[in-house]
Structure 1
Amino acid sequence: MRHALSDSEWRLIASVLPRKPRGVPRVDDRRVLNGIFWILRSGAPRHDLPERYGPYTTCYNRFVRWRCAGGWDRILTAISHRNDAKVQMIDSTVVRAHQHASCIQNNAREGFGRSRGGLTTKIHAVVDANGLPLKVLIAGGQQHDSLMAVALLEGLPGGGMILADKAYDATEIRTFVSSRGSWANIPPRRNRRDPICFSAYLYRDRNLVERFFNRIKHCRRIATRYEKRAANFLAFVKLASIRLWLRVNESTA
């Protein structure tokens, strides 16, 4: 079946999924996860889930329960090679929100923002030297990229190089990067007076983070935001990131 987990992919994450040791027998986790990936890739409403994946309520409830239990974060941390990420690239991309997703009160609390494209959400990401995701966050579409830089890099290993565009050229960001033992290879803005060490040759590889955004937007559930809740939309972004890592790990196994 399209979008279904292969045997090797399932073995990589089966032991990391949250499990309920007691109670009634569980529906097959692999079948449920395949249904969640089908919704992620197709962008279809959960009510249109094919019968081969079981009841749509089971997939949705399991998706939310695993999110609340931190399952998606644990899987992404477990399968990503964070310790080898000596080069880290940060950037963001804007996603247009569907009109049905933003029709809630106080939608600014759910990561919606009004920009030139209307109501939008920004996906912020850190990728390694191979363009594979290490950490993802979301914020309102009107929020400046530099405001999320520290939150993106916190918890990741230092001692390497950070690649980012001019939007991240701020003294506070450079100071934070230096405190982690890393070097911020960021092109200086025109109004910067202090001399900055910058390598245009190394900066050429920053396009890998743009390629990452292009790859996850193949998933229609991410190319357009249909989720009302920010936590659910971020969970789908993490699922798309997990799928990229699974395919890489499978090809190198």
Structure 2
Amino acid sequence: MARFDLTDAEWAVIEPLLPTDVRGKERVDDRRVLNGIFWRLRTGAPWADIPARYGPHTTCSNRFRRWRKRGIWDRLLDAVSEAYEGDLQMIDATSVRVHQHAACAQKKEGGSGGMGRSRGGLTSKIHALVDAEGRPVALKITEGQAHDGRSAADMLGGLGAGQILLGDRAYDSNALRTRMAEQGAWANVKPMPNRKQVLAFSPFLYKYRNLVERFFSKIKHFRAVATRYDKDPDNFLASVKLAALRVWLRAL
């Protein structure tokens, strides 16, 4: 078994969740193809460089895109993340450099493609909501210059009664605090230093926010996430979700 291949325990979780509606010719071995996809995700190498032991590289790349379009990767991540510990959740964002091969797509297509100019040059930003164990609950990507707090608005619908959201100063807004209160949750967000209103804030609970930073550290071990090589933003988000899936599998 190669270093990045799925273990027997990880495969036992994934296999029952894979599609079984095979028509015509029998599908190439799923485990071998998935191992090829994870090899490329971990190394950041071009699809064409996938080792022959994983089969034709075109099979791996085509399966990755086809299953992304069918929502298979979303289904896998949703299934394993049902066990999340939601009493305490942390939100944050991290920027990743866009490789020059992906950057050219922005010029050709005329759209942002989830890429934007920031102090680090052309970047994309990964937004993540994680649970009390540092495992991902929600993920999205935006342009690198996107505001963390405003970009998180559509990621917080799952927080409810008795739950606590931790966030840094980028998420300090009256609108977010009001929304969390309406949902029955409490936003333990570090207030901006220029705030005149004294707000309830627990420095003790805030220390647990490092779990989201540790999550980003884990997924950036996957070089195809640490640097964006995918031109299509949907493909890049799928890569992020597959890295997140691997974090969940290892935790389980």
Deviations 1:103-156 (A, max 9, x none): 023464310000111100000001111111111110000111011222122245
Report the counterpart of residue 33 of structure 1 in structure 2. Answer: 34
Aligned ranges 1:159-174 → 2 under 5 Å:
159-174=162-177
Aligned ranges 1:1-253 → 2 under 5 Å:
1-82=2-83, 84-104=85-105, 105-106=108-109, 108-155=111-158, 159-249=162-252
Contact 2:123 2:144 (8 Å CA) reproduced: yes
CA distance in 2, matches of 1:82, 1:147: 27
- Determine helix, strand or coil for the equivalent of 1:241: helix
CA distance in 1, matches of 2:48, 2:242: 20
Q: 1:36 to 1:181 in 2, by over 3 A?
A: same
- Determine helix, strand or coil for the equivalent of 1:96: strand
Contact 2:169 2:192 (8 Å CA) reproduced: yes
Q: Which sections of structure 1, spanning at least 5 residues, go unmatched?
A: none
- Identity among equivalent positions (%) equals 55
- Determine helix, strand or coil for the equivalent of 2:134: coil
Q: Which amino acid aligns with 1:114?
A: R
TM-score normalised per structure 2: 0.95
Report how far residue 159 of structure 1 moved: 3.2
CA distance in 2, matches of 1:158, 1:52: 50
- Determine helix, strand or coil for the equivalent of 2:112: helix
Q: Which amino acid aligns with 1:103?
A: C
Q: 1:129 to 1:200 in 2, by over 3 A?
A: same
Contact 2:166 2:189 (8 Å CA) reproduced: yes
Contact 1:108 1:140 (8 Å CA) reproduced: no
Contact 1:18 1:66 (8 Å CA) reproduced: no
TM-score normalised per structure 1: 0.94
RMSD value, Cα: 1.4
Deviations 1:188-224 (A, max 9, x none): 1122222211001110111111111111111110111
Q: Which sections of structure 2, spanning at least 5 residues, go unmatched?
A: none
Contact 2:85 2:132 (8 Å CA) reproduced: no
Q: How many residues align?
A: 249
Q: Which amino acid aligns with 1:29?
A: D
